[in-house]
């Protein structure tokens, strides 16, 4: 992702020196630095991402292990292998390239065991309980407060945040009352919610407090009849719910306020999601409610949140229609500019995409647009579009983008296309058509209720496997208030069953370093099959025509040609086809 600040290699080195001095002073074997903020949010501004201060790496996800001396170890998955190599100073940062099928944490923990590290520090406000448990299996974690590391860093001053606003009921789907009664059916129980997208979903509010997010900074305690929102000083909540009592509290008073509430409510059980709760807040809950009265509930409220109502789906469909137009107009602009011999750069495409989204009414991008021209298309999460990379007429371009419109639900779509009216090379066509086959096969799948994401993943990969290709990321992720939402996933490791109402991406790819990359991404919602009882299928939410200049029709079988024809026919009715 693009950084909201920039550190020189020398500044990164000084930060590393400072924290290594702290480790030596406290006789610690190392410290783990996550990519998270205190809300465990996915897209964290670099100014609040401690991992960035000690590595210089701007990708959205990575893990860092710092020892008392020597290079720090930056663990990155396949999406970031090239980007990390390009961004860090290798004299002070060792890039550990985690293989597909493993994970950053697994590899990092194995290194801790191999090196015999015992006392390893963790930032209590930036590490979730699930990770704490994994560290406890291999070492003796020392939990820092939020001051030990932060005091070593010079951070920019924060800007005033927008007012938190309530969604219209049409955009929200269910009412707050309906949601909290679903989440907390018992009057004796409560649920402490710390995931930002879940707090926003539950309260039917949006704040746009972080880049690439419609959520607001806050935590919540929900009971069967009330919703308590805990926000930081200076955050204004500009709504009054008419259908249920919503109490806004200052986060600084969280401990005392919860103690008062427990005296009033006498809750017998308070649930939380251990994957979405940091160590500091967990300790607070223990102190207030007692260890026996708090309990982790698998998937938190994601299992409710990920099943979209028809009202939510209506809002999401409208958002994707606008996003389709933004992407289609951007691609047309690129083709017309290059065909007319106008000089445009990779950065110009990035900026034009943002402009096109705004033209369709987008309030914010749901992530920083990936704009990869030529060989840069092979960098899976390419986050540094350059003004000196000029577009040539025979370039293949990958653009991955998304936005937020009035409903505050994210969109996310990827298209790969030729820069002008020139056809792609035989190699371009081969890899594009194989990826297209994967999309068509999965997008048109019919599967039984209860089928897992792992079973569906193979449908997208099989055409690639047959030609000797693969990709180092999952095939699909959930989409909701955040562009990456839990509750549904299509990947070799997903045992999550597919359910009606889920919204998920379909995005296989092929990436060849030095040559280029292809990714095609549509978003679909899971629906009941219209005729086969007990079966499910997909309703596509994205309708932007595929690139005819990159399709080798001889590689498509007869069924795939019919699927392609049907899809393009709908695109033509929406004026988003390139045929």
Specify the higher pLDDT residue, 5 or 92: 92
Distance between CA atoms of residues 325 and 331, nearest Å: 10
Distance between CA atoms of residues 199 and 208, nearest Å: 13
Q: Are residues 417 and 461 in contact, defined by beta-carbon separation less than 8 angstroms?
A: no
Strands 226-231 vs 218-222: parallel, antiparallel or unpaired: antiparallel
Q: Is 425 helix (H, G, I), strand (E, B) or coil?
A: coil
Q: Are residues 279 and 125 in contact, defined by beta-carbon separation less than 8 angstroms?
A: yes
Residues 360-406: tens digit of each pLDDT: 999 999 999 999 999 999 999 888 899 999 999 999 999 999 999 99
Domains 165-305 and 310-551 belong to one CATH topology: no
The Cβ of residue 157 has, within 10 Å, a number of other Cβ atoms equal to 5
**Which of 36-45, 294-303, 392-401 shows the highest mean pLDDT?**
392-401
Q: Are residues 442 and 540 in contact, defined by beta-carbon separation less than 8 angstroms?
A: no
Distance between CA atoms of residues 422 and 391, nearest Å: 13
First-to-final CA distance of the chain? 33
Q: Are residues 340 and 367 in contact, defined by beta-carbon separation less than 8 angstroms?
A: no
Q: Give me the sign of the Cα torsion angle 385, 388, 391, 392.
A: negative
User: Which residues, 6+ apart, have CB-to-CB distance to 263 below 8 Å?
Assistant: none
CATH H-level superfamily of 165-305: Creatinase/prolidase N-terminal domain (3.40.350.10)
Instruction: Write the CATH number of the domain with boundaries 9-150.
Output: 3.40.350.10
Question: What is the structure's pLDDT at 1?
Answer: 43
Residues 318-367: tens digit of each pLDDT: 999 999 999 999 999 999 999 999 999 999 999 999 999 999 999 999 99
Q: Are residues 232 and 213 in contact, defined by beta-carbon separation less than 8 angstroms?
A: no
Note the pTM of the prediction, 2 decimals.
Answer: 0.89
Question: What is the structure's pLDDT at 403?
Answer: 98
DSSP assignment of 68-108 equals SSS-EEEEE-GGGHHHHHHHS-TTTEEEEEPPBTB-HHHHH
Question: What is the structure's pLDDT at 3?
Answer: 58
DSSP state of 475: S
Rounded to 10 degrees, the C-alpha dihedral 472/476/477/478 comes to 180
Among 3.30.1240.10, 3.90.230.10, 3.40.1190.20, 3.40.50.2300, what is the CATH number of 310-551?
3.90.230.10
Distance between CA atoms of residues 194 and 123, nearest Å: 17
Quick one: pLDDT band at residue 78, thresholds 50, 70, 90?
A: confident
60 to each of 248, 279, 349, 376, how far by Cα in Å?
31, 21, 21, 18
Would you kindly state where each structural domain of the chain is located, as residue ranges? 9-150, 165-305, 310-551
């Amino acid at each position: 992702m693009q950084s909201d600040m920039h550190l020189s290699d020398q500044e990164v080195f000084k930060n590393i020196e400072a924290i290594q001095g702290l480790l030596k002073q406290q006789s610690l074997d190392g410290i783990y630095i996550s990519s998270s903020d205190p809300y465990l949010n996915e897209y964290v501004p670099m100014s609040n991402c401690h991992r960035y201060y000690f590595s210089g790496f701007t990708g959205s996800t990575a893990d860092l292990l710092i020892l008392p001396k020597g290079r720090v170890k930056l663990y990155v998955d396949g999406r970031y292998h090239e980007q990390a190599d390009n961004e860090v100073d290798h004299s002070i940062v060792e890039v550990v390239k985690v293989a597909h099928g493993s994970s950053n944490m697994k590899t990092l923990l194995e290194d801790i065991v191999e090196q015999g590290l015992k006392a390893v520090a963790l930032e209590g406000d930036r590490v979730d309980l699930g990770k704490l448990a994994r560290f406890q299996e291999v070492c003796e974690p020392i939990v820092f407060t939020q001051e030990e590391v932060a005091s070593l860093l010079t951070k920019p001053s924060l800007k005033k945040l927008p007012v938190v606003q309530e969604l219209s009921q049409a955009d929200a789907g269910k009412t707050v009352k309906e949601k909290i009664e679903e989440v907390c059916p018992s009057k004796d129980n409560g649920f402490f919610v710390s995931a930002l997208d879940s707090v926003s979903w539950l309260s039917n509010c949006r704040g746009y407090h972080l880049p690439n997010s419609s959520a607001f900074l806050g935590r919540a305690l929900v009971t069967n009849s009330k919703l308590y929102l805990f926000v930081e000083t200076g955050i204004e909540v500009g709504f009054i719910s008419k259908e249920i009592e919503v109490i806004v509290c200052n986060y600084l008073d969280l401990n005392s306020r919860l103690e008062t509430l427990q005296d009033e409510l006498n809750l017998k059980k308070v649930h939380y999601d251990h994957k979405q709760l940091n160590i500091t807040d967990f300790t607070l809950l223990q102190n207030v409610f007692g260890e026996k009265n708090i309990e982790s509930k698998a998937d938190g409220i994601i299992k409710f949140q990920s099943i979209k109502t028809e009202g939510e789906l209506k809002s999401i469909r409208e958002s994707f229609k606008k996003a389709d137009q933004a992407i289609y107009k951007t691609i047309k602009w690129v083709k017309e500019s290059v065909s007319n011999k106008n000089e445009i750069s990779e950065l110009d495409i990035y900026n034009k995409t943002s402009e096109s989204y705004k033209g369709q009414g987008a309030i914010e991008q749901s992530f920083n647009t990936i704009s990869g021209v030529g060989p840069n298309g092979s960098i899976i999460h390419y986050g540094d579009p350059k003004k000196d990379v000029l577009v040539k007429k025979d370039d293949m371009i990958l653009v991955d983008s998304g936005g937020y419109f009035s409903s505050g639900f994210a969109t996310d779509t990827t298209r790969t296309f030729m820069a002008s009216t020139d056809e792609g090379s035989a190699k371009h066509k081969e890899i594009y058509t194989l990826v297209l086959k994967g999309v068509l096969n999965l997008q048109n799948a019919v599967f039984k209720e209860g089928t897992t994401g792992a079973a569906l993943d193979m449908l997208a990969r099989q055409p690639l496997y047959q030609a000797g290709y693969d990709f180092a990321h999952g095939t699909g992720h959930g989409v909701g208030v955040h562009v990456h939402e839990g509750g549904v996933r299509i990947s070799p490791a997903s045992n999550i069953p597919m359910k009606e109402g889920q919204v998920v991406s379909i995005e296989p790819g092929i990436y060849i370093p030095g040559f280029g990359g292809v990714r095609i991404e549509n978003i679909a919602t899971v629906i009941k099959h219209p005729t086969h009882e007990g079966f499910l299928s997909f309703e596509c939410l994205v309708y932007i025509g595929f690139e005819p200049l990159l399709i080798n029709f001889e590689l498509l079988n007869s069924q795939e040609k019919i699927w392609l024809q049907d899809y393009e026919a709908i695109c033509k009715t929406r004026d988003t086809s390139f045929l």
